[in-house]
Chain A
């Protein structure tokens, strides 16, 4: 489980996006940014980001949850909730 705060999670996801997609994409990351439209992250890259989040934050993000994660903020909230529930 993770005890990371919301800002920690946002920073962590930004770093993951930077590693997987590059700095140009990472610079556009905000809590409101949509993965597919604004960050141009398709569904396969989303899987890589989710797997990296699982490893980094010690949570499980099942495939069924992926379609609910429209914005970066959605992902942060999901991970924060998963951490509390764990």
Chain B
């Protein structure tokens, strides 16, 4: 069987950034409260020319360029998203058309904030088995379409953006088998409500699930990858809320040398886009380098979670 690895990453961050002040005014809250509650200072807000498909195309194109892959050689494209405003058609085939992925199959992947990590695992399987030589996995979200600006549980938390990864054949295996779990008993704590559907979240319940589930998932992912937590160069959890990240860091007793992704501070919670955006940001700042071991942990609405250890492209 062949080896698979991440060959490249790409990001699309919306041009317009919104800070906490305007949002806080609509919520009768404050910049201080939002920062203490979530760590978020700004988030991206997509413009009219930044649909889920537009942002996916932008991030996907950059990832292909980063990986040095010809679009015509992509065998499969997966778009993970939960913010398309219509069920039909999905985003992936349109993304393939825009990027010139002439040989690709296409599908959308619905696992909310765990979409990218689930997608990476299927991409790795496809490459290892020979189903595809190169797979493009994209997380793209436009939360501004499904947020109620007066909802104190969500309005300040979510942002727009897209991140992409290219998975392909490599000499050394660079993507561990994933660990995953779900809890459908708590499906209702993070859902859209009404028509048009708007996102609603029971913050304490989601926080409890995340903080009690992630430490075990993180350790299991490392064990499955055959590494110790101390071997990691970086921890990149889904950027849901800085408080969740900090709780995970404490629970793992993460050594100081392990870099922790905190892109949520600038980007807000971008669901399926958050992990590739955060990892790409760590590369840009030089905090991680090619070949570094990175633990990715996606978790969110469903409830569902998936994580794996990857080598940074």
Residues of A within 8 A of B (CB): 42-44, 46-48, 50-51, 63, 66
Tell me which residues from 187 to 225 in chain B have a Cβ below 8 Å from any Cβ of chain A: 202-205, 207-208, 211-212
Instruction: Return chain A residues, CB-CB under 8 Å to B243.
Output: 44
Interface centre among A43, A48, A51, A66 (most CB of B within 10 A): A48
Bitwise interface map of B from 230 to 255 toward A, beta carbon under 8 Å scored 1, else 0? 00000000000001000100000000
Q: Does B36 sit at the interface, judged by CB under 8 A?
A: yes
Instruction: Return chain A residues, CB-CB under 8 Å to B283.
Output: none
Instruction: Return chain A residues, CB-CB under 8 Å to B205.
Output: 63
Q: Let me know if B36 and A47 touch, CB within 8 A.
A: no
**In the docked arrangement, what's the CA distance between A3 and B212, Å?**
25
Q: Does B37 sit at the interface, judged by CB under 8 A?
A: yes
The number of chain B residues touching the other chain, given as a range, is 10 to 19
Closest to A20 in B: B250
Q: Let me know if B208 and A51 touch, CB within 8 A.
A: yes
The contact sample of 10 A-B pairs, CB cut-off 8 A, is A42-B37, A43-B203, A44-B207, A44-B243, A46-B204, A47-B208, A51-B208, A51-B211, A63-B202, A63-B208
Chain B nearest Cβ from A51, distance in angstroms: 6
Chain A nearest Cβ from B235, distance in angstroms: 19
Instruction: Return chain B residues, CB-CB under 8 Å to A51.
Output: 208, 211-212
**In the docked arrangement, what's the CA distance between A66 and B36, Å?**
20
Interface centre among B205, B207, B211 (most CB of A within 10 A): B207
Instruction: Return chain A residues, CB-CB under 8 Å to B207.
Output: 44, 47
**In the docked arrangement, what's the CA distance between A44 and B36, Å?**
10
